[in-house]
Amino acid sequence: MTTIPSPTDVGALANRINFHTRDQHNKIDKQMSAKFAFAMKHGFIYRQGVLAFFYVFQAIEQELDRLRQEAQTPEEEQTRDILNQFWTEEFRRAPRILQDLELLYAKEFPTSASLRTFLEETTLAPELQGFVDYVHASIRSRPTAILAYCHVLYLALFAGGRVMRSTIYRSTGLFPKFPNLTTEEVVRRGTNFFTFSDAGVQAENQLRKNYKRGYELATRQGLTEEQKLNILDVSNAIFEWNTRVVTEIGEINRQELMGKLSFRLLTFVIEEWQYSDKLTRKQKSLVLATGVVLQILMMYWVLRKFF
């Protein structure tokens, strides 16, 4: 009977990816934890993050569909055969993220058609565009590279998605208000990105088990060492691109807010410092105390101006 390779089996591709990206994984995990906690306090930043990853997953799934439906070269056919052994439609993210964007952008784009026009006409920020271009180029040049994305992004999202979903359920201020929907209904409609099955936790666990098992067994044989090394390189690059895209979102918002003296700016800067991994606990306490003083002074200035 064929079994899933053990975590110590160095012949399994998934295990090799995990080993070779361990430092990168730890780095972005720390960064994402801080940025995610920060985004939970700023709905406009959270929305931008969801939007960014829509374009990333859309690019991956465009290439995945092309390989499965229109494989032409021997390596594309090889990749298609591997994908067909483990890929399941429940893992497809772009349509799920689109559902979240329909809710997050409901006030600006009340119809699906207007939202799609926005998505198609939006000019992507440089790093995000670079990541999308890299997705297409890396897979077009070496089709088996898509296996890096299938492991690094999809399984990582599955592993952390449940935690993120739980956190979001406690951060109801992220979403627009709808008079005909309860808070629970709004949150449920806005967390499709992190949901892999509407049938509940047990169904999700079984789905993940089947996907992981299929991936590990399908990739164990048939790939050359050269192909595996390329997959490892792409896996590392994915972590690097994730870091750059998340950092870019923060930079864009900082630049846009710097010219405006407002509570939003003060809150943004203070909390960004507070969640920074470059500050000690004592420094973070000082930043927090400074923020309270600044907000009091800001309130005093507003009261004097208007009263």
pLDDT of residue 7: 55
Domain coordinates in residue numbering, the chain: 13-257, 260-307
Count the helices and strands in the chain (H runs, E runs).
14, 0
pLDDT of residue 5: 55
Residue 57, CA distances (Å) to 33, 260, 263, 282 in order: 20, 34, 34, 39
Mean model confidence pLDDT for the chain: 81
Residues 6+ away with beta carbon under 8 Å from 282: none
Q: 226 by DSSP, 3-state: which?
A: helix
In the annotated binding site for heme b, the residues are: 25
Q: Is the pLDDT of residue 227 over 90?
A: yes
Cβ atoms of 127 and 53 closer than 8 Å:
no
Cβ atoms of 186 and 218 closer than 8 Å:
no
Higher pLDDT, 42 or 155: 155
Is 13-257 assigned to CATH 1.20.910.10?
Answer: yes
Cβ atoms of 172 and 186 closer than 8 Å:
yes
In the annotated binding site, the residues are: 25
How far from chain centre, in Å, is Cα 285?
30
pLDDT, tens only, 111-144: 999 999 999 999 999 999 999 999 999 999 999 9
Q: Is the pLDDT of residue 266 over 80?
A: no
Q: What is the mean pLDDT of residues 258-275?
A: 52
Q: Which helix (H) or strand (E) holds 302?
A: helix 281-306
Cβ atoms of 139 and 145 closer than 8 Å:
yes
Q: Burial level of 300, CB count in 10 A (0-12/13-18/19+)?
A: exposed
